[in-house]
Structure 1
Amino acid sequence: MAAIDGNYHQLETFTPHHPLHNGTMAGDAGLTPEPASEKVENNQVEGDAAAVAAASEYVIDPAIEKRVVRKLDLHVVPMVMALYLLAFLDRSNVGNARIAGMDKDLDLFGDRYDWLLTIFYIPYILFEFQAIMWKIVPPHRWAAIVVLAWYACLPLGLDPCRGIVGAAGIFSTVQAAVHSWGAEMALRFLMGAAEAGYGPGIPYLLSFFYLRHEVGLRCGLFLAAAPLANTFSGALAFGITSGSPGIAKWRVLFLVEGLPTIVMAAVAYFYLPDSPEKAKFLTEDEQRIAKARSIRQAGAGTRIGGVDWMDFLRGLLDYKAWLTGLMYFSCNVSFASLPVFLPTILSEMGFTRAAAQGLTAPPFFLSFLVTVITPWIADRTQQRAFMLIILTIIGGVGYILLATVESVGVRYFGVFLAAGGIFPAIANILPWVLNNQGSDERRGAGIILLNFIGQCGPLLGTRLYPQGESPFFVKGQSVCAAFMFFTTFLVITLRMCLVWENKRLDREYGTIEEQRARVASSQEAGEKPSAEVAVENYGSMFRYVL
């Protein structure tokens, strides 16, 4: 059989290969594609017969594959990262609005501000099931729907006979027009319901575009948008609120930071591809490579547009998904509270309100860098547990300094440690869920369960810093420290379980080396061995990432 456009090379025999062995990469990991000796062969009934035939007879050209991955990195990752940055900015700018005068204008006395933070996460939890919609609805449509929904028009002064006669705005932007705590509560609830359809499902979406040893870095880049948003949100808020506008400064803040996302919704609709093989920015040859990668990753079944609900249910019952959900809960206690309370914490250290907004930038920029670097290291080593242990201990120590030390300089250093541990820890938990679920349905179930449990953390985290406990907020800092160390314990527990699971798989199927030796022996005898295509799905070559 002739090669297809010179991008595949025919093989007489096939030696199965999987990039993992007991949680360790076999060969170069990170961003380097699989070697050319790897063949994609189909062992499933479903799928496009032509694509399966091509994948089963040809190997992937590594040079073309590098180009495919590079183009995905240039088109898909910046899009999802930009949307999440805007989402996180609009979610957390309430902290800067508070110290810009919103607390006085809306009478945020008592625990009213805490409730503004908490109310966002109630619908964010209840609507977590929307993550599976990335598999059911074409992603470019779903992205546009949820982005427009979380910024959908909300009529003010609606007259049923005359239409909209007052101002018309969007969930985030229209916060600039509210005049009561109750109206702000309603808007925060609607924002939470809409944003639940986007951020929690993006790691799942990325798993359709990237292989098992590639997805960690991309999850890190996506999540790095959160600390990046916080890096400049304080400076941006300071710039926006430092003038003398005709309306309250905090209202200007909501207007300026909310409007850009409407434009991004349209960009997502026309720009975000539904799958790698359908990406318009790939050439026809590159689309074939992308299709072969997809078959190698998860077999020839339908990836977008269909769900095996029984397999999805099995994913919901997996104890590994529950453990990672508890990790996410523990980290989210701090993840949700630090951005919205940090301006207040810094203000209570004695800094002016303007300085407090500006001083949030350096620790969050450090967090941004660590959030990008650590998932990349974990991708290369396929050792996520060790990275998480280090990060959670660092974050916990940071909170201990904030709770126990009086020196302003040391406490500010503690902010660096806390921010540098929390956000990167989340960025390493997300790909760990994807790595250790052996089908698209189970990966989707794992992400939903992760968020359903994990997003309960902010319900606690947003209640930990009552104004009456300033300036040290000992209770809040201590609780956050305790949960960071609890995450360390959970990580160690899960790693021990995965080591046991990998040993069980070795006993059942033989080690990866033993399986390759059997294949080599059969080749020498002139036999044609069978092999798996879906190397990331459960099977004899599947091993858990430690």
Structure 2
Amino acid sequence: MFGREKKTASPDSSSGKETPYPNNYYDPDIGRGPASDNDDDLHLRFSPSRERRLLAKIDLRVIPVLSVLYLLAFLDRTNIANASIFGLQDELRLRGSQYNTALTIFFVPYILFEIPSNVLLKKLKPHLWLSVCMFGFGLITICQGLVQNYSGLLATRFFLGLTETGMFPGSFYLIGMWYRRSEAQKRYSFFFGSTSLAGAFGGLLASAIGNMEGLRGYRGWRWIFILEGLLTCIVAFTFFFVIPDFPENAKWLTEEERRYVQIRLLKDQGRNAAERPISFRDVVKVFKDYKIFVGGFMYFGLIVPAYSYAFFAPGIIQTYGYNRIQTQLYSVPPWAASFTFAMVVAYFSDKFKHRFAFTIMPICVAIAGFAILIVVHDNHHLQYGALCMVTMGVYSAMPVVVCWFNMNLGGHHRRAVGTAWQIGFGNIGGIIATYAFQPKDKADFYRPGYAICISFICLSAGSCLVYAASLLMQNRQREKAPRSLLTEFEKTELGDMNPEYRYLL
């Protein structure tokens, strides 16, 4: 499995047998070979206050950088909705469902290359892979502002999806390798909140850029793409030096801090096999666990309403009688409300060390919002409030679903593949979302689109219930099972399939 390697033996305390370790096997708890007597001393030297300072240091280096990265990715992905309000469809002479097709083609490479991207992320290191991808989608966004016809729009949307494919799963994978399961939700939700901030920022920015209509012969929608893409390219250059790598490679921590981070994660999640690359056999083994597929459906059901709102909310809000600038400004408050609500949900989820209830509650809020939109068509204030409920519910449930699934995957290999699968499969819902709201449905108050969104949210809720029941059942089975006689190396390779691993509900 590891190629040509020299093997040494070390005693396994549970079985009393000699355990073969490859010479490139690095264990973050015991180093190479026998356990270190200094690990307990190191753990004792980190008082609670010192641990909090270390966590604050990690937070300031990891979370803001990745949040800005994904904010710009989501902004460049969804600013086509703002551009549409400023005349994109008219100037490019888009007819029928051509606009929807342009939205759809983004998801083809975005879905297909999620897993390969996470494999490359581990191989090339995050600071290199993520910054290169970031510069790529910034450059393509600029090109999107220069297209002259429908074919050009399709081409740029395709390559935008290709370059953005690693942003979301790669960032979630990286965050998951820094934090314990009980403290991860606030960080995940703050990171995921960058999508809400991108929506709010995009609306404000578009309302300002729209005033550049006709400058140097360009329509306002072109300036939206050009300026936002240029901003992304500039940030990508600086982020090459500041995007964090995995804990074992973090040069901005002292040797003692790196070792302590590894020890505290081992006690929470087990060994992670960070020392070896991901093989094709690793990928196949991950998909032998049925929970992987359930996790995909949990996210898939939420993606449909999430992208439906991101792509079509400006158009829906415009039907309430606002002009182009007012529409952009009115698109901001729902995003701001969703960010605030998501952080409240994350705080209590971490406080109670529980995830399931904090997926169902926001889902119910979103369902109530869509139900109002289906039946109420003559009260714009209530309809606008319902849009806020939809955004709050969907964009609060999504980070909990991803964090819950991701942090229950043990080890680099299962987490890298499983996270990429969940995000990749879930984003198939983006294709459905692009066709959920058709121009012809405007006369029917977009009720077909709202009904589609409710159906998929219910699918997500059902999947969350199945996933929670599966975790509870496996935890109980493992509690009753006899003590494992697996070697430490075998436990590392199994990840969360190790009989001693306990899932977080």
Contact 1:320 1:494 in 2 (8 A): yes
The amino acid across from 2:41 in the alignment is: Y
User: Which residue of structure 2 aligns with residue 405 of structure 1?
Assistant: 376
Aligned to 1:58: 41
Residue 109 of structure 1 is aligned with which of 95, 112, 117? 95
Q: 2:192 matched to which residue of 1?
A: 223
Q: Which residue of structure 2 lines up, in the alignment, with residue 264 of structure 1? A: 235
Asked if the contact 1:334–1:461 (Cα under 8 Å) also holds between the matched residues in 2, the reply is yes
1:79 aligns with 2:62: no
- Residues 1:305 and 1:101: Cα distance change in structure 2 (over 3 Å): farther
Q: 2:146 — aligned with what?
A: 177
Query: Does 2:346 align with 1:375?
Result: yes
Report the equivalent of 1:454: 426
Task: Name the CA shift for 1:253/1:305 in 2 (closer, same or farther; >3 Å).
Answer: farther
Q: In 2 relative to 1, CA 322–74 (structure 1 residues): closer, same or farther, beyond 3 Å?
A: same
Aligned counterparts, 1:17-416, within 5 A: 45=21, 46-47=25-26, 50=31, 53=36, 56-60=39-43, 61=46, 62-129=48-115, 130-151=117-138, 170-244=139-213, 245-246=215-216, 247-297=218-268, 302-303=273-274, 306-307=277-278, 309-406=280-377, 407-416=379-388
TM-score, normalised to structure 2, is: 0.87
Q: Deviations over 1:151-210 (max 9, x none)?
A: 3xxxxxxxxxxxxxxxxxx20011111110110110000000110022222111112211
The 1:266–1:106 alpha-carbon spacing in structure 2 relative to 1, beyond 3 Å, is: same
The alpha-carbon distance between structure 1 residues 478 and 79, as it changes in their structure 2 partners (threshold 3 A), is: same
Q: Is the 8 A contact 2:212 2:223 kept in 1?
A: no
My pick for the range that moved more, 136-145 or 292-301, is 292-301
Q: Distance in 1 between matches of 2:87 and 2:197?
A: 24
Deviation at 1:292, TM superposition (A): 2.8
Cα pair distance change 1:536/1:222, threshold 3 Å: farther
Structure 2 counterpart of 1:417, one-letter code: M
Q: Write the letter of the residue equivalent to 1:464.
A: A
Distance 2:283 2:42 in 1: 31
Tell which deviates more after alignment, 126-135 or 232-241. 126-135
**1:381-421, Cα deviation, whole Å (9 max, x unpaired):** 22211111111111111111112101111111110110001
For residues 265-301 of structure 1, give each alpha carbon's deviation from its aligned partner in whole angstroms, at most 9, with x where no partner exists. 2222111232234434334432332243354455566
Measured in 2, the distance between the counterparts of 1:457 and 1:223 equals 18
TM-score by length of 1: 0.80
Structure 1: give runs of 5+ residues left out of the alignment: 1-42, 152-169, 516-531
RMSD: 2.4
Aligned residue number for residue 33 of structure 1: none
Q: Which residue of 2 aligns with 1:465?
A: 437
TM-superposition CA deviations, 1:103-126 (whole Å, max 9, x none): 110012211111111111111111
Post-superposition offset of 1:440: 2.1
Contact 1:138 1:305 in 2 (8 A): no
- Cα distance change of structure 1 residues 54 and 261 upon mapping to structure 2, 3 Å threshold: farther
**Who is 1:426 aligned against?**
398
- The aligned amino acid for 1:132 is V
Q: Comparing both structures, which one devotes a greater share of its residues to helix?
A: 2
How far off its partner does 1:89 sit? 0.4
Unaligned runs of 5+ in 2: 1-18, 485-490
AA in 2 matched with 1:273 = P
Aligned to 1:503: 476
8 Å contact kept, 1:90–1:172? yes
**Distance in 2 (alpha carbons) for counterparts of 1:370 and 1:79:** 22
Measure, in 2, the Cα distance between the counterparts of 1:534 and 1:304: 11
1:14 counterpart residue number? none
- In structure 1, distance between residues paired with 2:52 and 2:493: 20
Q: 1:64–1:286: 8 Å Cα contact kept in structure 2?
A: no
Partners of 2:330 and 2:272 lie apart in 1 by 50
Aligned residues: 467
Counterpart of 2:417 in structure 1 is 445
Task: Tell me whether 1:544 sits opposite 2:499 in the alignment.
Answer: no
Distance 2:286 2:494 in 1: 18
